[in-house]
Amino acid sequence: MEYILYEQKGQYAILTINREKALNALNSQVLDELNETLDNVDLKEVRALIITGAGSKSFVAGADIGEMSTLTKAEGEAFGKKGNDVFRKIETFPIPVIAAVNGFALGGGCELSMSCDIRICSDNAVFGQPEVGLGITPGFGGTQRLARLIGAGMAKQMIYTARNIKAPEAYRIGLVNEVYAAETDAEGNVVKSAGEVLMAAAEKMASTIAKNAPIAVRNCKKAIGEGLDADMDEALVIEEKLFGDCFETEDQKYGMAFFLDKNKEKVKEPFRNC
Ligand code: DAK
């Protein structure tokens, strides 16, 4: 792999888009490698995935404008499909995916973050859909996911104006769940950069998720994802089915028995993912 780093840390893993010289812009090779890396995640072990960008300046500064500039209509559609397929794979990935946004998340970068379950960012993060300024529409799901996440009115404003927004505004409109600043000592010296604080928070969140019953967590992701695409009656049926499925797991039996056991000395064992 030239452009993707992948590190498994026990029950969670970190996937880094590593094309720092081009601010981690997504060319076809990055998309192919991203796709292959996702296919190789050990889902028996890994219970949460973090996606981030290499360096402190950029998460992903968009699709590769150089590569896109000469595309024909057919090639443009093929490129869009490649991106859409891999982003959809992330959106429907069996385990939760956290986007740790460490800088620019523009165009395809903003879209990549939106295909993840949860977005958190450093205080230097910048989000935007600048495509109309380049003569194109957002092509990796931006018109659809942004409207679903922050509402059609705010999404239309961001997309039509092509205006970038900074981390505090992204937080205010609900595009990110949390913003992290650098840690400083009493004299104001930086002890930990914003990127380091962000990654520590992302890893803490991933390991917290990993401690919960994995099949239940996966079923929650499925219920929320599939439910959002359905009307309420259908959505509740989806939830009922996934809720029912949990009762065939050992983790459910153990989790409830542990709660009901009045022995104060007992120590909770890890969920076994079965
Ligand atoms: N593509 C290719 N290279 C990029 C890039 C990008 N999106 N963004 C940055 N780079 C490269 C720069 O060309 C530069 O390369 P060198 O000149 O050093 O070789 C290097 O990264 C550093 O960038 P800058 O020198 O520009 O750094 P600055 O700090 O001055 O500026 C910036 C940072 C993020 C403000 C600026 O680089 C910038 O504006 N970048 C472009 C951001 C952008 O417009 N992103 C959206 C791209 S459009 C579709 C499929 C997909 C899409 C649409 C349709 N279909 C098929 C329908 C998606 C579209 C997009 O994502």
Q: How far apart are CA 218 and CA 147, in angstroms?
A: 25
264 pLDDT more than 90:
no
Q: Is 33 in the pocket of ligand 1 (CB under 6 A)?
A: no
- Per-residue pLDDT of 123-157, as tens digits, reads 999 999 999 999 999 989 999 999 999 999 999 99
Taking the centre of ligand 1 as the mean of its atom positions, its distance from the CA of residue 64, in whole angstroms, is 6
How is residue 121 written in tokens? 């960012």
Ligand 1 site-directed mutation target among 60, 65, 126, most atoms within 8 Å of CB? 65
Taking the centre of ligand 1 as the mean of its atom positions, its distance from the CA of residue 62, in whole angstroms, is 6
4-209 to CATH, choices 2.140.10.10, 1.10.10.10, 3.90.226.10, 1.10.287.130: 3.90.226.10
How is residue 189 written in tokens? 């010296």
- Provide the whole-model pTM: 0.96
Q: How far apart are CA 212 and CA 30, in angstroms?
A: 32
* Mean pLDDT across 175-189: 97
Which string of DSSP letters, residue by residue, matches 138-182?
A: --SSHHHHHHHHH-HHHHHHHHHHT--EEHHHHHHTTS-SEEE--
- Residue ranges, CATH 1.10.12.10, the chain: 212-260
Q: How many CA atoms, within 13 angstroms, populate the side-chain half-sphere of residue 178?
A: 16
pLDDT recorded at residue 41: 98
Q: How far apart are CA 188 and CA 137, in angstroms?
A: 43
| Closest residue by CA, ligand 1 atom 45 | 62
Q: Is 83 in the pocket of ligand 1 (CB under 6 A)?
A: yes
Give the per-residue SS3 of 21-63. HHCCCECHHHHHHHHHHHHCCCCCCCCEEEEEECCCCEEECCE
| Closest residue by CA, ligand 1 atom 34 | 61
212-260 to CATH, choices 1.10.600.10, 3.30.465.10, 1.10.12.10, 3.20.20.80: 1.10.12.10
pLDDT recorded at residue 73: 92
* Mean pLDDT across 176-181: 98
Instruction: Using the atom order of ligand 1, give the atom closest to the CA of residue 71.
Output: 56
pLDDT recorded at residue 273: 87
Q: Provide the 3-class DSSP secondary structure of residue 187.
A: coil
- Residue ranges, CATH 3.90.226.10, the chain: 4-209
pLDDT recorded at residue 148: 96
* Mean pLDDT across 249-273: 92
Percent of all residues in the chain with a pLDDT value above 90, rounded to a whole number:
95
158 pLDDT more than 90:
yes
